[in-house]
Amino acid sequence: MSDGQLVGIVLVSHSAEVAASVAELAKGLAGGGPAVPVAPAGGTEGGGLGTSSELIAAAAASVDRGAGVAVLTDLGSAVLTVKALLAEGDELPEGTHLVDAPFVEGAVAAVVTASTGADLAAVEAAATEAYTYRKV
């Protein structure tokens, strides 16, 4: 299905800065492989804290290469808005999945995995597995 295309990653946070910074962090840690399409969708359109369905839809469209789009979110309305958009049917590219993952660790895992050319299921599994990484 991917035809050599990379899975796209969308990072949705209540804060524009958090989303953009986590995107930079994940891309930085992915190293020198092929550039994974990663787009932040943070905050409201007015620049405040919150969630914007427009920013999410635009970010998803911008990273869609036909191999699927993995969406990672922080909490609350970010999760609910993505779920509502997915239920809507035509708001997000085909093959867009909300990934159940910790935001920072999951984003790094997703971007690194996507940079290997892995498919959406593998990207999703890697991001979700980040939950099992214990720190103490």
Write down the least CB distance from residue 76 to another protein, Å: 5
User: Rounded to whole angstroms, how far apart are CA atoms 40 and 22?
Assistant: 8
Minimum separation from the CB atom of position 52 to another protein (A): 6
Active site includes 97? no
Catalytic residue among 7, 14, 16, 39: 14
CB of 81 or CB of 113, closer to another protein: 81
CB of 90 to another protein, least distance (A): 11
Residues near another protein (CB under 8 A) = 44, 48-54, 76-77, 80-81, 83-85, 87-88
Rounded to 10 deg, the angle between the 16-30 and 103-115 helix axes is 40
Q: Between 24 and 88, name the residue whose CB sits nearer to another protein.
A: 88
Residue with Cβ nearer another protein (35 or 84): 84
CA dist., res. 87 & res. 108, Å (int): 27
Count of CB atoms situated within 10 Å of the CB of 17: 12
Question: Which sequence positions are flagged as catalytic?
Answer: 14
